Amino acid sequence: MRYEPPAEPLAPRGTLVSAYAASPAHGSWDPVLEGELLRGLCALPDVVGLEIPWLGAIHPHDSAWFLHNVPAGAQLSLTALPFVMKRCREAPHYGIASRDRAGRTAALADLRRLAADVRILTEQSEAEVALVSLHTAPAGGADSAALAESLAELTDVDWNGAQLVIEHCDTVMPDHPFEKGFLPVVDEIAVAAQSGASIGMWVNWGRSAIELRSAHSVTSQIAAVADSGLLKGLTFSGASATDGPYGHAWSDAHLPVLSADPASGSLLDDVHVRAALMAAGDVEWLGVKVSRRPHDRTAADIVRTVESNLTAIRNVRTAREVKA
């Protein structure tokens, strides 16, 4: 069955929380804590589901466990980015935007395996896979023509009704090192628009800040993607220009909104949350991707951390609506 994107919703669908950024599951496996965390996150106001990583399988430790414990009715967004970065370290020419035929073929084969797991999630869990994110690797050597060829192949894959989106990551810049180094956003927009397959775009605020080294410039990038008509989602995830409790400066460490943790040094303050929301317009999805605080230990701790970020964003949204 050829890729068929879902019908456009009548209203925004809600907020997705990145479970893997907050969860300790990828460092140490604790199924009791993980079960409490998944349920707690999905019970938060405005949250309709979770972003989960695909690391070559549905779950890094126990896929059968996940199929039986993912909250019923949760909307899922699958991202293979951690897997892509691992594969890029092993094989520098790996990626769907690779000029190297072997590297591109390997990336497409992995995404077909991901599509098979989308079917398993759809058939064997009570959740729904709403989105699948694509990433324009390889680092430092991505090519638009190669990406166009890959998208043509991927739209012949059955994604069980999930929307395909290109999640923009930082690209190669002339004046500072890159973190991911994938295609420029203008190239991703152009290829997605020309694909004829309703492939959308997704922007992560923190990753754009890492690329642009300017919180103000992120607003312009969001607006450019929104103006293309392709923007499907906006994730709130911070970044910092200085070393701090979450890691080194300009690392993709998923910092919180500044008002949720003033000690974080995050550039994502309320002013820039408001600007991002205005630039995104009537975007279909919002995302929140924040790391647990260094002192978080229990599922309840982590849920409170995520909730504080959701509250900060909600307060900005409410104030904006009242002002309008």
Read off the pLDDT band of 27 (50, 70, 90): confident
- Pairing state between β 285-288 and 231-236: parallel
Reported for 108-113, long-range contacts at CB under 8 A and 24+ positions apart, including other chains, are 108/150, 108/153, 108/154, 110/56, 110/80, 110/83, 111/80, 111/154, 111/157, 112/157, 113/56
Q: Is the Cβ–Cβ distance between 142 and 182 less than 8 Å?
A: yes
Share of the chain above pLDDT 90, in %: 87
Helix (H) or strand (E) holding 79, with range, is: strand 75-79
Torsion, Cα 313 314 320 324, to 10 degrees, reads: 150
Q: Is the peptide bond before 294 cis (omega within 30 degrees of 0)?
A: no
User: Can you give the CATH number for the domain in which 38 is found?
Assistant: 3.20.20.150
Q: What is the mean pLDDT of residues 240-248?
A: 96
Q: Is the Cβ–Cβ distance between 128 and 75 less than 8 Å?
A: yes
Could you tell me if residue 227 is inside a domain? yes
Is residue 4's pLDDT more than 80? no
The number of domains in the chain is 1
Q: Is the Cβ–Cβ distance between 138 and 131 less than 8 Å?
A: no
Please provide residue 171's backbone torsions phi and psi, each rounded to the nearest 5 degrees: -110, 180
Could you tell me if residue 2 is inside a domain? no
Distance CA 259, CA 301 (A): 17
Closest CA to 136 of 207, 185, 91, 100: 185
Read off the pLDDT band of 11 (50, 70, 90): very low
Is residue 10's pLDDT more than 50? no
Q: What is the mean pLDDT of residues 219-240?
A: 98
User: What would the pLDDT profile of 256-294 be if each residue is shown by its tens digit?
Assistant: 999 999 999 999 999 999 999 999 999 999 999 999 998
Share of the chain above pLDDT 70, in %: 95
Is residue 9's pLDDT more than 90? no
Could you tell me if residue 94 is inside a domain? yes
Residue spans of alpha helices (H) in the chain:
19-22, 31-42, 63-69, 81-90, 101-124, 144-154, 185-194, 205-212, 215-227, 270-280, 299-323
The predicted pLDDT at position 7 comes to: 65
The predicted pLDDT at position 201 comes to: 98
Could you tell me if residue 154 is inside a domain? yes
Closest CA to 20 of 266, 240, 276, 288: 288
Could you tell me if residue 27 is inside a domain? yes
Could you tell me if residue 277 is inside a domain? yes
Distance CA 38, CA 17 (A): 10
Please provide residue 30's backbone torsions phi and psi, each rounded to the nearest 5 degrees: -135, 95
Residue type, 34: E
Distance CA 206, CA 212 (A): 10
The predicted pLDDT at position 137 comes to: 98
Domain that holds residue 30: 14-323
